[in-house]
A and B are shown apart, each in its own frame.
Chain A
Amino acid sequence: MDLPPILITLGARVRTVSPRGERWIDVADLITGYYETSLAGDELIVELNVPAQPAGARAAYAKFTALSADDWPTVGVAVWLRREGETIVEARVAVSAATDRPTRLVSAEKALAGSIAGAQAFAAAADAAAGEVEPLSDLRGSAPYKREMVRVHVRRALEDAG
C-alpha cells in the first residue's frame, strides 16, 4: 500500500507482457479497485519505469499506522512538487490505504498549483484533500477519522517536501 501512491506521483509506468505482446500502463491506471488491477489474467509485469525527475522536483511520503508500527497504513499520502523559486508550478498528491485504491487528489493539486510554497498553501491543499477524499470505514478507523488523517498527512507530507 505504500509504494503505489509514491509511484503514481513520480509518474511511474509498468511494462507488461502477455501472449498478445507488450504494453505500458501508468501506475495510476494499473490499480482499479480493492484487490483489482487492469492486468489481464495472462499478463505479467516485467518492468517498472520511474522517469528521471525534472529539476526543482521534490517529493515526500507520509505514512500513518493506527495500530502497531508494522501495521498496514491507515492513510498513506504521497506528494510531489515542482517549484520555480517559491512558486509551486506543478503538484501531484495521491492518497492510499484510506481509499479502495490509490487515488490522485486533484482538488489539492489545483489548490497548490501557482501558489507560494508555505503553511498557508499547504493547509489549503490539506483541506481540499480532506474535502475530496472518500475514505472507507474499517477496523483501523471510521471514514470521518480517516478524512481527518488525510488532512493531517497531506499537510505533513507537503511540509516535508517543502
Chain B
Amino acid sequence: MTQTIKPVTPALREVSRSVPRLEGVQKVTGAIEYIHHLRLPGMLYGKIVRSTVAHAKIVAIDAADARALPGVHAVITGDDVLKIVPSPYYGPAFHDQPVLAIGKVHHVGEPVAVVLATDPHVADAGADLVVVEYDELEPVFDEVAAAQPGAPIVHDELQPAGTFADLKHLKGKKHTNIALDAQVRHGDVARGFASADHIFEDTFKSGQVMHTPLEPMVSVAETRSGKELTIHTASQSPSFVRMEVARLLGWPENKVRVRAAFLGGGFGAKLYIKLEALVAVLALIVRRPVRIGLTMEEQFYTITKHGTTVRMKTGVKNDGTIVAREVQTWWNGGAFADIGPRVTQKSGFTAAGPYDIEHVALDSCAVYTNLPPAGAFRGFGIPQLVWAYESQADIIARKLGLDPVAFRLKNVLRDGDEHATGTIMTNANVAACVESVARQIGWDRPFDRGTGPVRRGRGIAVGIKASISPTTSVALVTVAADGSCTLAISTVDMGQGSDTAMAQVAAETLGIPTESIAVVHSDTDTTPYDMATLGSRSTYHMGHAVRLAADDARNQLLALAATYLGVPAASCACENGVISTGDGRSMSFRELFVARFGMQAGNVVGTGSFEPPYAKPDMTTGQSSNVTPFWMIGATAVEIAVDTETGRITVERCVTAGDVGRAINPAIVEAQLNSAAIMAIGSSISEVMIFDRGRIVNASLADYKIPGFLDIPIDIAAELIEDAHPNGPYGAKGVGESGSFAPTPAIANALEDATGVRVREMPLLPERVLRALRAASGTPLEAE
C-alpha cells in the first residue's frame, strides 16, 4: 500500500515551529520514566557470566560454588534455555545468536550463564564464582583475513532468518565467514578505467567504535501465568522484540507485551534484540520478574560500530570528471550478524558516493569475526564509506590541481541524474549542501594558517544515505469527548525529540496546539506496529502515518460537524479545536461529542498506516527503479588546528548542512545535525576500541574517550536545506544521522590542507598523525 499526501499547505501553525520539547521540564527535574529505574516486587537481578576467550568450545560449566553462595537464587546456562526454547537462536538477519552460549563461544564477552539473586551485588559475586572450562579454537579478528579461504570459521553453518530475500541463498552454507556479498553493477568499469586519464587506488580503514549511550542497556521481564510475558526494556524496536520473542517461544504475538519508556540515548545500540530474549527466558524459568542491566563495560561487548576496510579505485579525466569507480568493502561484523548484512547492502550500494559516475562496480561484504558483534550505529555504515570516498575526493582534487569544492560540484549527482543503482535522483540537494558549508566556512576567504608548531587547515566533505526500506509505521490518534487528543505510536523517544515532532504533525493536521497533545509511549499492547526507531526513518515514515491518522480523525470530526451544522464537510474549517462554517457558526470538538452522544462521551479514533513506494534491487546488479523512499544528504566543513609537534588535532570550527526536506521543529533538527557532527568528531579523533586477542583494553568511560564539552568546536553551526519532499509529512525527511556522514573525512582533508600529510586510517589519533608527519619530514619516530 502506498499513498501520496496532499501538497504542503502554505500557512503552517505547528510545523516549522521550534516547539520546546514536550518532556523537557520533566527531564531536567528528574520526573521522566526510564526502565533503568524500574523495580518490581519479587524481582531478581541477573548478572551475566561472560566468555573470557574469543573462540572456543565450552568443555564444562561449574556453577556449584555460585549456587552455594547465600542469596543466589539460581544459575542458568544454555542447557536450561534449551528446555523451554528448542532453538534459542535470534537475530534480525541471521538466527545466529544464542540466548546463552550453547557448546561454543564466538567472542570475548559472549553470555555463557546468568546468576540470579535478590541482591545485585550477590549476583555479581556469584558470577565471579562460575568456572567455565574452554577448549580454545583459533580466532580470527581482521575482516579481510576472515573473508579469505582457510580462515578460522566463526559459525559452522549460516542460518539466515528468512526475512530478507537476499540472504536466503546463504541458508545452510558452510566453511565461510561471509554473511552477505552484495553487488552493484552499473555500466562497464573496465571500459571506464580504460577511458580515464588518471587512476587512483587507495585503501581506507576504520576501527570499531562504541555507541556509548549513558543509560546502558536494561531489560526487565515478568510473567504471571507462564503463558504470557511483559518485557519492559530500553529498546529502540519494541515491535521487533515482540515478534522475535514470540517466534522463539512459539507463541502468538499478543501473548508478549513489550514496552519502552524514554531512552537515555540509543544511537543504534538498543535495536533488535539485546537483553530481551534472555530476560524473557529467565523469567519463564524462575517464574519471577528478572532484571538485567548492563554496566558501561558490558555495553562494549554487546554491540559496536563496524570496523571497515574499503578499497577504492577511481578513474578520472583530466578535467576532473569521474568516469569509473570500483569499491570493495569488508565490514567487520563480529561474532553475530545482528543487522550487519543490511548495513552491508543498504549502505554498500552508496559506496560510490553522491557522484554521477557512468561506470560503477561495488562489492560489499559482511564478514563474521571473533570480535563483539557490530550492528547499527548512527549513520548505519555510511560514515565508514564517506570516510573513504571523501578522503579520496581530496586526493584526486589535489593531484589534478582542482579546488576540492569545485571538483565535488563538477561531479555531484543532481536531480534527474541516474544513481549507480539505476534510480533517478530526486529531492537530493547534494550541491546545495556542499555550497552551504563552503559558504558557512568562508571557503574562498583567507584564514589564519598558523605559525610555529600549530598549523591550521580546512576540509570539506559530503555524504549520501538511502533510507531503509521497505518498512511500515502505524499510528493512532484518539480524540476524547472533551476534545483532548492522544497520539499512540511505537516510535521511541531516545533524546531525538520524536514525541514533540510527532505531536507537531498531529497538531498541524487537527488544528490544535502541539502542547495539548499527549503522546503514549511504545507499548505493544496499546501502540500499533512500527518497524523500529532507526535509520532516520521515524519523521518520514511514522510522521506520515501520524499525519494520515490525524487526517482520518479530522475527517470524522468534520463529518460530525457537517451533520450538526448542516453544511458539507468540505466547507468547514478546523482550527484551535473548533470547527467553523463559512457563515460564522461553529462547534468545538466537545460540543460535537455532546451533540452526538447526548453527553460528554465517546471517542473519535483515527488510524494511519504508511509504507513508502520501493522497488527491490536486482540480486546480482543492485539495479532498482526506486531504491529508497528518500535520500539523506549531509555535508560538513571544518577548520582544524594541528599541533605538529604532538599530532593533536583540535576542531575549531565545524559547519554542517543537512537536506532536511522540511524541518518540523527547526531547533531540534539543528541540534540533531550538530550533535551528530560532535559524535562523528569523537570517532574521528579520540574514540576507538582497542583489542587484545578479542578483549577490549579500554571498555570504560575512563579510557574510551567520547568528546567532552571542551572538545566541542568553539564555532559550530548547522544550516537546514529545506526542499519539501513530496511524500514526507509536510515535506519532512529524516535527519538524525545526516550530520554524522562527513566530519571524519573533512577533518582528514583539513589535516592534509594544514600539513600536507594524508592519513588513511581512522581515528586520527595524535600518535598516528605525528608518525605520519615525521615520516613525511624524513625524521620518522622510532617504531613501537
Contact = CB atoms under 8 A, between A and B. Distances in A.
Interface of A: 64, 66-72, 74, 137, 139, 141-145, 147-149, 152
Interface stretch (B114-122, B540-548, B700-708, B717-725): B700-708
B782 interface: yes
A141 B711 contact: no
Given A71-B705, A141-B767, 12 more contacts: A66-B765, A67-B765, A68-B686, A68-B710, A71-B686, A72-B702, A139-B690, A139-B703, A143-B784, A144-B784, A145-B770, A145-B781
Contacts of A143: 784
A70 B705 CA distance: 8
Given A67-B705, A139-B703, A144 B783 contact: yes
B94 to A, nearest CB: 32
Contacts of B784: 137, 142-144
Contact of B781 (A66, A137, A148): A148
Contacts, number: 54
Contacts of B706: 68
A66 B697 contact: no
B646 A64 contact: yes
B707 A66 contact: no
Interface in B748-784: 765-767, 770-771, 781-784
Contact of A141 (B686, B698, B707, B766): B766
B648 A66 contact: yes
Contacts of B686: 67-68, 71
Interface string B497-522: 00000000000000000000000000
B697 A152 contact: no
Nearest to A69: B710
A64 B767 CA distance: 12
Contacts of B783: 144
B698 A70 contact: no
Candidate in B698, B702, B767 with the most chain A CB atoms within 10 angstroms: B767
B645 A152 contact: yes
Contacts of A71: 686, 705
Candidate in A64, A68, A71, A152 with the most chain B CB atoms within 10 angstroms: A68
A68 B708 contact: yes
Contacts of A142: 767, 784
A70 B767 contact: no
Interface of B: 645-646, 648, 682, 686-687, 690, 697-698, 702-703, 705-708, 710-711, 765-767, 770-771, 781-784
A137 B767 CA distance: 12
16 contacts: A64-B648, A66-B765, A66-B766, A68-B686, A68-B708, A68-B710, A69-B710, A69-B711, A70-B705, A70-B708, A70-B711, A71-B705, A147-B782, A148-B770, A148-B781, A152-B646
A134 to B, nearest CB: 14
A107 B699 CA distance: 37
A67 B649 CA distance: 10
Closest 9 CB pairs of A and B: A69-B710, A67-B705, A68-B705, A144-B782, A142-B784, A70-B708, A67-B686, A145-B767, A152-B645
Given A141-B767, A143-B784, A149 B707 contact: no
Contacts of A64: 646, 648
Contact of A144 (B687, B697, B698, B781): B781
A64 B106 CA distance: 38
A153 B552 CA distance: 68
Given A145-B767, A148-B781, A68 B648 contact: no
B207 to A, nearest CB: 12
A87 to B, nearest CB: 27
Nearest to B703: A139
B711 A68 contact: yes
Contacts of B703: 139
Contacts of A147: 782
B326 to A, nearest CB: 35
B774 to A, nearest CB: 8
B767 A66 contact: yes
Contacts of B690: 139
A102 B705 CA distance: 23
Contacts of B770: 145, 148
Contacts of A137: 784
A64 B648 CA distance: 9
A66 B771 CA distance: 14
Contacts of B698: 139
Contacts of B781: 144-145, 148
Given A139-B698, A144-B781, A70 B710 contact: yes
Contacts of A74: 766
B598 to A, nearest CB: 65
A125 to B, nearest CB: 16
A67 B766 CA distance: 8
A147 B703 CA distance: 21
A110 B750 CA distance: 42
A74 B647 CA distance: 13
A63 B705 CA distance: 17
Contacts of B710: 68-70
Contacts of B682: 68
Contacts of A72: 702
Nearest to B702: A72
A64 B711 CA distance: 14
Nearest to B763: A67
Contacts of B645: 152
Contacts of B782: 144, 147
B450 to A, nearest CB: 16
Contacts of A149: 646
A67 B708 CA distance: 10
Contacts of B707: 68
Nearest to A146: B767
Nearest to A148: B781
A148 B784 CA distance: 12
Nearest to B712: A69
A141 B782 CA distance: 12
A35 to B, nearest CB: 13
B757 to A, nearest CB: 16
B712 to A, nearest CB: 9
Nearest to B774: A148
Candidate in B687, B697, B782 with the most chain A CB atoms within 10 angstroms: B782
Nearest to A75: B646
A133 to B, nearest CB: 14
A139 B697 contact: yes
A44 to B, nearest CB: 25
A137 to B, nearest CB: 7
Nearest to B692: A139
Nearest to A74: B766
Contacts of B705: 67-68, 70-71
A143 to B, nearest CB: 7
Contacts of A148: 770, 781
A89 B552 CA distance: 87
